Amino acid sequence: MKRNLSLWQLTGFALTALGGTLLHFLFDWTNNSVLVAPFSAVNESTWEHMKLLFFPMFIFALIESHFFKEHENFWCVKLVGIITGVALIPILFYTYNGIFGKSPDCMNITIFFISAAASFIVETRLFKQNRLECKKPWLAFLLICAIGIMFIIFTFATPQIPLFKDPLSDLYGLDA
Q: Would you state the pLDDT for residue 166?
A: 93
Q: At what angle do helices 74-100 and 137-156 cross, to 10 degrees?
A: 40
Range with lowest mean pLDDT among 11-20, 83-92, 138-147, 165-174: 165-174
Average pLDDT value over all residues in the chain: 93
- What is the reported pLDDT for 44? 93
Residue % of the chain over a pLDDT of 90: 81
Whether 116 and 110 have beta carbons less than 8 Å apart is answered as no
Q: pLDDT tens digit string along 59-83?
A: 999 999 998 877 789 999 999 999 9
**Ranges of each domain in the chain:** 2-175
Element (H, E) at 9: helix 2-29
pLDDT in tens, 134-166: 889 999 999 999 999 999 999 999 999 999 999
| Spatial CB neighbours of 125, under 8 Å, sequence gap ≥ 6 | none
Q: What is the pLDDT of residue 131?
A: 84
Beta carbons of 173 and 43 less than 8 angstroms apart = yes
